[in-house]
A and B are shown apart, each in its own frame.
Chain A
Amino acid sequence: MKRVREEEIFPRNPNKTYGLMELVKGSSTRVDRGPDDMVSSWPHLLIREAALFAGCFAAMLALAVFFPPPLEAPANPLRPPNPAKAPWYFLGLQELVAYDAFWGGLGIPGLVVVALMAIPYVDRHHSGIGRWFAKSRRTATTLWTMYVVVVIVLIIIGVYFRGPNWAWFWPGEMPKEVQ
């Protein structure tokens, strides 16, 4: 009698190499230990995102309170400061302009942007994805680090080592105010 009922609910299929053995109580095998190592975004992702926003907001507020933004004298087209400097993120460009006007200011930066966009179409090898500084990508990592160092060094030179007439000054020797 019991056997017959089981057959009705779970009809036998000759193509199947497995059959129903037993019904047990319990959670599904996927819960919390799925083969793809997934967790719920709620709360695991959400709490991290909220914490990041809180940290970001607090940091910006603290900077705003303790380090007020600069405000110099009103703009005066007749009194150029010496040197007149671009915003810090363009001082690398300004440094390059000092060597060659066109190539420093437009040629090289334009080529850099094009080169950056071209990277994923040049380097398509499927290795080292998802790992920091993967060993198999040593060349790529080295090239990129060189690029980053050049960008940062140029900006640091522009900010701290260039004085009147874009001449080189060591930080201690920088004249206070030149008009």
Chain B
Amino acid sequence: MSVKLVKPEGGSVPPSGGRRPGQPGMLARINRAIYRQAPEVWDNLRPATLGHNIYKSIYRTTAFPKTERERSEAFFNSFLLHIQPAKIEKHALRFTYTFGLGLLSMYLFLLLTISGLMLMFVYVPSTEQAYSRMLDLRSAVSFGGILRGMHFWSANAMIAVVFFHMCRVFYTGAYKPPREFNWVVGVILMVLTLVLGFTGYLLPWDQLAFWAITVGAGIAGKANWVSDHINALAPPNAPKMPAIGDLMRWGLLGSDVVGQEALIRFYVLHVAVLPVILTGFIVYHMWRIRKDGGISSPKESPE
């Protein structure tokens, strides 16, 4: 350790590093000065105290609340938990009422986000490389196969779980006032989930992916029916409406066929645009649950 000394006025620094025999060293003097001015400073640095203070600065409540007040505060003061009520109706906790399907959809989205971000470190959205990166995941990347497997299964499970969640909400009448609009948001979430699944389907760039997207984009092209019928009804010299299905298909693929343009479009939609939109709607959906009075309860109905 080196302590730089200010040269005393009118004298030279002694060779012992500034200490004259019989005088306390610089550190000892600093220590004494601090202790005189603020004796608690050293106490604050004791590991137990420091640890406690750091914990308290992050979480204002005890880790294992015992009283009712502390239990409420544990939810109320936590960033992650505060979106949920501190007290909840016993009925809402019954597993056979919700089967946890809504939360399960969000958990699957969380798993998909995490595994998807990790896959992005390996994947290249190029028709030349995409497929070989899939092979790398299986053989060269540590746990790559499991990572892709979790992404694949979570995606399929999410589509099914979102549908089952919608069935639960219908069968329990949970879309009725005041929750009408949250049902509408839920339908939007389901459509977004399907589109996310569809855009992700192309990325492996194998036969399954390529031809599934060819079929899917072909379905978008069927919208030509609308413009064809309008044009047939219009007077002969009226301006023709463009083929709306072809426009939609072209917008999706960026070309007439599934190729590099389609791959980059699907990739950007899949990893950036749609997840952000979906996250926004999920946040709104959950905020709305609280604003509509929590999840539905038999107490709301005369029956």
Contact = CB atoms under 8 A, between A and B. Distances in A.
B208 A72 contact: yes
Interface stretch (A6-14, A17-25, A41-49, A167-175): A41-49
Contact of B175 (A45, A61, A88, A120): A120
Interface string B161-191: 0010001001111111101110110010001
B271 to A, nearest CB: 18
17 contacts: A37-B91, A38-B89, A41-B86, A53-B107, A60-B157, A64-B148, A69-B148, A71-B204, A75-B205, A87-B197, A120-B177, A126-B176, A130-B91, A131-B172, A133-B171, A140-B170, A151-B163
B68 A77 contact: no
Interface residues of B, number: 93
A31 B68 contact: yes
Contacts of A132: 97, 171-172
Nearest to A107: B225
Nearest to B90: A37
Contact of A70 (B159, B191, B197, B208): B208
B103 A52 contact: yes
B216 interface: yes
Nearest to B210: A75
Given A60-B154, A75-B207, A81-B211, A129 B171 contact: no
Contacts, number: 248
Nearest to B214: A84
A45 B84 contact: yes
A69 B149 contact: yes
The 6 closest A-B pairs by CB, nearest first: A64-B149, A102-B225, A75-B210, A120-B180, A130-B298, A69-B152
A178 interface: no
A90 interface: yes
Nearest to A87: B201
Contacts of B88: 38-41, 44-45
A76 B157 CA distance: 29
A93 to B, nearest CB: 6
Contacts of A150: none
Contacts of A146: none
A132 B174 CA distance: 10
B171 A144 contact: yes
B176 A84 contact: no
